[in-house]
Structures are given as structure tokens and as C-alpha cells.
Amino acid sequence: MTPETVAPSRTLSPEMLPAEIRGRFDTVIADVATTGNSGSGVFDVANQCLLGIMSRKIQERTIVSTNGISVEKLVDLAKYFVPAAQIRQFIGPGLG
């Protein structure tokens, strides 16, 4: 969610991430530019449940060349969310 609104998104298969970072992020969403930032909830509307909490943006450094000038640029790939099951483990019994 974004402040005072809902931003639709979709989960993304980790296989869509570059191989060098694929194993580090197993719960990701697409739609980087239109979704909430760290701390935002990620919900499954159809099943009415919390999937997790947004944690970070996943970016990749790339070189962009324009008119013979090369510039390093960060490209947004996805956003990682901490899954609800992992949050429950962190909280511990009796609090969740």
C-alpha cells in the first residue's frame, strides 16, 4: 500500500532476477515505481491475507552509452518483501 491508497502489483518469480542475485531474494514483486516503500504491507487480496512487509528495492548497475559517453546507471528490477512466515518466526510464540 502507498499512503492512503492501494497500489496493485504482482508477485514475480525470483527466476526473473539476474543469476548473481537470484538466491538472495525469494519473495519479490514487480511494479517498482508504483508500489509502497519499506514498511508497506504486501497483501493477497483474493485470499485476504498478508504476504509480507516491503523491505527493499532491488537494483542493478548498468552502463548506458549515449553519443559515445558511457554513464553508470541504477535500474530498478523488483522489490523484496519479508514473507509473513519469517516475520512470525521473528516475533515468536504468543505474540503473533
Q: Could you tell me if residue 4 is inside a domain?
A: no
Report, as an integer, the average pLDDT of 45-67.
92
The letter for the amino acid at 59 is Q
pTM, two decimal places: 0.79
Q: Could you tell me if residue 37 is inside a domain?
A: yes
- Rounded Cα–Cα distance for residues 2 and 41 (Å): 9
Q: Could you tell me if residue 70 is inside a domain?
A: yes
**What's the confidence (pLDDT) of residue 1?**
44
Q: Could you tell me if residue 48 is inside a domain?
A: yes
Segments forming the whole domain that contains residue 81: 11-91
Whole-number CA gyration radius for the chain = 16
Structurally, how many domains does the chain consist of? 1
Q: Is the pLDDT of residue 3 over 80?
A: no
Percent of the chain scoring above 90 in pLDDT: 52
